[in-house]
Structure 1
């Protein structure tokens, strides 16, 4: 994309007919299209991803939707997505809700345009912060925060109360990234209500999504109150991060080589450049928001499926008992040995990837999968939950929860680029190994400590705020009196070395 872009990430002056798809008219679209309003009949503005999933099921692996004069192309067929993963022809496109986050995150790692130099600078400076050595250093802090969660859940279980899974997972993951990355404690578990940072963060995410549901020229009038609240939310996020950075610079919080130390002190190994003060703020906000919002959703969906599938929970729990034994706390290396628990997490991310879409743009004139011409700058949105449900890859039962889809043999049998919960290519999530280690560790600890019970009449409802989260999920806990003895539930001994990451071809 050129530098002359609008707030939506579209080049200035672009109209729907100029999206760079010469044969746009050949792509199917939902029926009952209304002039100017487009494909809005029967659409719930609060669930655009799930509405797009319904359209995808009827329209096929590539289709278009028009909303308030803007036309968007969606792709989910595995063969098409594999071609979009070609980094020599396609790159990340920053548009839609992602571009709407730039007022708060600017040229941070997630929201930077490809041409902005601070992306490469920050990526090269911060990548060592997610090395194996760095990850091992975070492990004890992850355990400490998880202990605060289990203390909280023990009190709820003793009182006979259910637990608010999405709320508590948000507290857990916010404290984890704040502690490990920035040496900060938000005190989330000691608060009766969400920390104001979480409230402000949710506000900015929700506002970014709402901007896509109203005509751009009318947004200042239709969203006047929401715009004022968004400005206040951004100001609060900025103040919080500025205070955190100021404390570190003054020596009030000792650094330990964490992400904030790297942002403030580390020079680029080749150029000697440092991140500017403004970019440090943007990167901290990016990591605090992206580093906890998606992981909390992944954990919440996994706990939902464990509660709904007691046979899966029993198998996973038996693996935890066998691998971790009676140790008070698992070591860093022991987390990677929870192969089946990791499958549960991966299968949850398959069905409900908490970052549900990513956009790709053509670097030059090309033909997608040999069928669909795209001019340079043309872009499309990959609908990840539907990619993960493509029956040609995942079978006719793709809607069914089955962690064995991710055993080693099954993973090897599938083509690359069919599992993309962390995006793709050079702009894939830099913190994915951090998130996977944290989530696997927490699931193991919770399985070892509790039996999880969902209400029999509970039906999964997914809420959308750019990321996905199970809505209103509450579980009843039953504290286990002692670890089950090894062998009470058959657990295959996988043997061998640590499993190959199933995010094949995801890049870094």
Structure 2
């Protein structure tokens, strides 16, 4: 039986017309088909990018109908700012997020607002993202980054391009697994992705596919996909159960990491602890969300750095100036990479790897003084379009320009116009972890390599609820200036070496 809200309606499936009294005022695509609605015009492989296209045509608030359900999309800055008002709106768990509940249950990302485990887990785990905790993770982040650069050194020495999305996925999975759960997936020692990654991609893809078929027909139309999804979920559960069991056998040897907190920490006021089932859901949530979005952010940033050598040179000069020749930058040195952080923020502006979030009305209200909404009505914020609103970002909003995040430029913009991590109390709990990790890694890679794109590559974005550049490969020219020998240096210096010189960088 479907889970229901306190209003008695199915969770995550409230159609928009039930809560939008003047829905007719919101534009929709032309040439609708009875029952199917706008489905025939949907790019089912790229629904987010398809919605971005429609947003440009239809304006800052629009709607789409699919199989009898109407969905309202919002991207105009004043509308999003109103939806960010926590006194009137809350997180809505719907669409693809609700489809992940069989995997992540009442984990932090997929919990409904009235489920008690969300607040319990948030309060227990929030100290795990304090400054002191973050400083403790820094050395492990560096250790995982060493494994990445070792792999990239070997690829460069052999004259091979690197698989950016694949390697960023390995990096971020190992980082969250080691810092949060004391686990090593051995990603860089594998020829193929770890089965956990394969299963994760499968569950995310299946969750997105569920949005493209009528609910009652899903068991028939997606029968084989559902069987694969069940196997993928079993793999995720088995992997996490083994990880938790190993920690329990060790008697808690994580030094106070996230898993120790989940297993041993009671709520500071109520004394409650997370149940075994909820621990499993939280670990899956952190392993999936804690690496999938960060790997996408790093991949897009590296794409833009390779395509804009003048911006990469400026960022590299900052790294050389701030870090000098120290081989292992300290925790506080990462925050001093202000231009590198702007590169990351600008990449997240153009391609927020979590590309949407939904908000529902806590009570009857009027959105931005124009659109009446009844309690429980919801809208989906289309973040890539919010981040391209020409009234906020200018007519050149498609241009990559990290100086948009200069402090003076930030102060000149209205609030709630940059939302790569969601909004409000349900915003991503690990955002500072992700930003520190990504800034550190970009600094290390810039210092170590010149990045060269494949001249024939054109950015293609793949969607599996999150966004990722598809097929991105980069060529590397190692830079010895950071003071550490690379694998290519060793090859060059070996007796009788015939290693060829890397090609000169090509123009963008």
Question: Shorter-chain-normalised TM-score: which range?
Answer: over 0.9
Q: Give the TM-score taking structure 2 as reference length.
A: 0.93
CA 1:436 to 1:347, structure 2 compared with 1: closer, same or farther past 3 Å? same
Aligned residue in 2 for 1:215: 214
**Residues 213-252 of structure 1: per-residue CA shift (max 9 Å, x gap):** 0011110000000111111111111111111000000117
CA shift for structure 1 position 34: 1.2
Aligned residue in 2 for 1:503: none
Aligned residue in 2 for 1:285: 284
Aligned residue in 2 for 1:462: 461
Equivalent residues in 2 for 1:190-229, closer than 5 Å: 190-229=189-228
- Say which SS state the counterpart of residue 107 (structure 1) adopts: coil
CA shift for structure 1 position 42: 3.6
Aligned residue in 1 for 2:61: 62
- Say which SS state the counterpart of residue 271 (structure 1) adopts: coil
**Residues 422-442 of structure 1: per-residue CA shift (max 9 Å, x gap):** 000000000000000000000
CA shift for structure 1 position 70: 1.4
CA shift for structure 1 position 69: 1.6
Which has the higher mean CA deviation after the structures are superposed, 297-306 or 472-481?
A: 472-481
Distance in 2 between residues matched to 1:371 and 1:91, nearest whole Å: 19
Distance in 1 between residues matched to 2:240 and 2:8, nearest whole Å: 28
Aligned residue in 2 for 1:81: 80
- Say which SS state the counterpart of residue 367 (structure 1) adopts: strand
Q: Could you tell me which runs of 5 or more consecutive residues in structure 1 were left unpaired when the two chains were aligned.
A: 485-508
CA shift for structure 1 position 3: 3.9
- Say which SS state the counterpart of residue 213 (structure 1) adopts: coil
Aligned residue in 1 for 2:188: 189
RMSD: 1.3
Distance in 2 between residues matched to 1:120 and 1:373, nearest whole Å: 30
Aligned residue in 2 for 1:40: 39
Q: Is the 8 A contact 1:8 1:96 kept in 2?
A: no
CA shift for structure 1 position 68: 1.8
- Say which SS state the counterpart of residue 199 (structure 1) adopts: helix
Distance in 2 between residues matched to 1:456 and 1:379, nearest whole Å: 43
Q: Is the 8 A contact 1:201 1:233 kept in 2?
A: yes
Q: Could you tell me which runs of 5 or more consecutive residues in structure 2 were left unpaired when the two chains were aligned.
A: 484-508
CA 1:128 to 1:440, structure 2 compared with 1: closer, same or farther past 3 Å? same
**Residues 159-196 of structure 1: per-residue CA shift (max 9 Å, x gap):** 00000000000000000000000000000000000000
Q: Give the TM-score taking structure 1 as reference length.
A: 0.93
Equivalent residues in 2 for 1:302-381, closer than 5 Å: 302-381=301-380
Aligned residue in 1 for 2:71: 72
Counting matched residue pairs gives 480
Distance in 1 between residues matched to 2:321 and 2:376, nearest whole Å: 53
Q: Is the 8 A contact 2:263 2:279 kept in 1?
A: yes
- Say which SS state the counterpart of residue 291 (structure 1) adopts: helix
Aligned residue in 2 for 1:160: 159
- Say which SS state the counterpart of residue 441 (structure 2) adopts: helix
Q: Is the 8 A contact 1:7 1:99 kept in 2?
A: no
CA shift for structure 1 position 44: 1.5
Aligned residue in 1 for 2:407: 408
Distance in 2 between residues matched to 1:461 and 1:61, nearest whole Å: 25
Q: Is the 8 A contact 2:16 2:377 kept in 1?
A: no
Aligned residue in 1 for 2:497: none
Distance in 1 between residues matched to 2:16 and 2:113, nearest whole Å: 23
CA shift for structure 1 position 373: 0.1
Aligned residue in 2 for 1:10: 13
Q: Is the 8 A contact 1:335 1:441 kept in 2?
A: yes
